[in-house]
Amino acid sequence: MNAPSSSGAADSESAEVVLTTKRVKTLEREAKEKEKEYADGQHANIIDGIWHCSNCGCPENIAIGRRKGPLGDKSQCGTCGKFWHRHRRPCPVVYNSSTEYHLDLLQKLRQSAVADSSY
């Protein structure tokens, strides 16, 4: 029986030191590239003069607050912005800039919330 763990540990220790600065730079670059990629997938904030969330498209009169997103400050609604802040990627939703669509979504959300709390 040989002991691969002892020789392996010494190897990875020295390799880790070399990797650290390089890796941090690579990770930083990758994160920036990802954010750029995410920003490309976002939509315009202003449609017909009205603010819409760049991720889900909900208009300003329905959006609960405005938060930071891949496009910058106040580019996403509260729900999408929270997800972005927590996961560093856009909330996976269907983009739709129509008010009716989001009112319908909200109504469904409220209905399920009422159903949840009424038992």
Could you say which of 59, 66, 71, 80 contacts Zn ion (CB under 5 A)? 80
Stretch that binds Zn ion, among 40-48, 66-74, 78-86, 99-107 (CB under 5 A): 78-86
Stretch that binds Zn ion, among 11-19, 23-31, 67-75, 79-87 (CB under 5 A): 79-87
Q: What is the 3-state secondary structure (H, E, C) of the chain?
A: CCCHHHHHHHHHHHHHHHHHHHHHHHHHHHHHHHHHHHHHCCCCCEECCEEECCCCCCECCCCCCEEEECCEEEEEEHHHHHHHHHHCCCCCCCCCCCHHHHHHHHHHHHHHHHHHHCC
CB closer to Zn ion, 23 vs 108: 108
Stretch that binds Zn ion, among 5-13, 34-42, 70-78, 82-90 (CB under 5 A): 70-78
Q: How many CB atoms lie within 10 A of CB 103?
A: 14
CB closer to Zn ion, 15 vs 46: 46
Q: Distance between CA 116 and CA 107 in Å, rounded?
A: 14
CB closer to Zn ion, 8 vs 72: 72
The reply to whether 71 sits near Zn ion by the rule CB under 5 A is no
Interface residues toward Zn ion, by CB under 5 A = 53, 55-56, 77, 80
